A = this chain, B = another copy of it.
Amino acid sequence: MLVEAALALAEAEGLEAVTIRRLTKELGVTPMALYWHFRSKDELLEGMAARIFEEIDLSVDASATWQEQLRALLGSMLSVLRDHPSTAILLSTRTASSEGSLRATEVVLDILGRGGFSPTEATQIARHALSAVTNLVVGEPGVVTREDSGKLIDAQRRARIFLESLPPERYPRLVEAATPLSAGVDPDTYFAFGLDLLLAGIETMAARKC
């Protein structure tokens, strides 16, 4: 109940709004009441991360190739994290040895094992893959949080003008790419590309082994 409220609050007003006083006031109790259920705020955050992990759909299509299975799994993880944009960062820092995290790791290792990777290699790749996916969400450009979009597109316009006004002899590529650099990225395109890049890397590493 507490972590659900915390997640809701974080999603509604950003992770920095999740303060003990704020959260407990929301629930109509005293700040110190929280410490009966959690030893510290950090433990609460850990609980939030664990809850997010549990939302990931871990089912795999047994008839698909391991590449397709991996893409599906990482894709479902990605979509879960995209539903929790401001709490996704919790997964990147926290060790996350929760039930959900273990199960997710198990499935990824299994898929990679069937892809021909040894346990050691699979471990390395799984680590990078999970970390890369959360990094994708956390690092999404142009998510300037809670400012109205009017300010946002204005900032984009000023960014483009700034880039275009750079000395072309020193920054030819920046000037050339001023528009794509400053324009807001379509989220679907951005995430699809990130996933493609990651999977391309993994598949290439697999191919090199043969």
Q: Is A187 an interface residue (CB 8 A)?
A: no
- Cβ of A139 within 8 Å of any chain B Cβ, yes or no, is yes
Contacts of A193 in B (CB 8 A): 124, 128
Cβ-defined contact, A200 with B194, below 8 A = no
Quick one: copies of this chain in the complex? 2
With A and B bound together, what is the CA distance between A201 and B136 in angstroms? 15
Of A49-57, A72-80, A115-123, A146-154, the one with at least 4 CB within 8 A of chain B:
A115-123
Report B-chain residues with C-beta under 8 Å of the C-beta of A61. none
Comparing A6-14, A26-34, A39-47, A173-181, the segment that makes contact with chain B is A173-181
A174 pairs with B105, CB closer than 8 A: yes
Evaluate contact between A180 and B131: CB separation under 8 angstroms. no
Q: Is the CB of B173 within 8 A of A128?
A: no
Interface size class of A (residues with CB under 8 A): 35 or more
Give A203's nearest chain B residue, CB to CB: B204
Task: Kindly report which residue of chain B lies nearest to residue A177, judged by CB atoms.
Answer: B119
Tell me, yes or no, whether A125 is within 8 Å of chain B by CB.
yes
- Whether A177 and B120, one on each chain, are in contact in the complex, defined by CB atoms closer than 8 angstroms, is yes
- Give chain A interface residues in 156-210, CB to chain B under 8 Å: 159, 166, 170-174, 176-177, 180-181, 185, 190, 193-194, 196-205, 208
Q: Of all chain B residues, which has the CB nearest A103?
A: B171
Q: Which residue of B lies closest to A105 (CB)?
A: B174
Q: Please give, as numbers and ranges, the residues of chain B lying within 8 Å of A201 by CB-CB distance.
A: 197-202, 204
Query: Which of the segments A17-25, A63-71, A106-114 contacts the partner chain?
Result: A106-114
Asked whether any CB of chain B lies closer than 8 Å to the CB of A98, the reply is: no
B120 touches A180 (CB 8 A): yes
| A204 shortest CB reach to chain B, Å | 4
With A135-B135, A180-B120, A202-B197 as contacts: A174 and B125 at CB distance below 8 Å: no
Question: Does A138 reach chain B (CB closer than 8 Å)?
Answer: yes
Give, as a whole number of angstroms, the nearest-CB distance from A42 to chain B: 12
**Cα–Cα distance between A194 and B129 once the two chains are bound (Å):** 10
9 A-B Cβ contacts within 8 A?
A: A102-B166, A106-B173, A110-B172, A123-B181, A127-B141, A128-B197, A196-B205, A200-B200, A200-B204
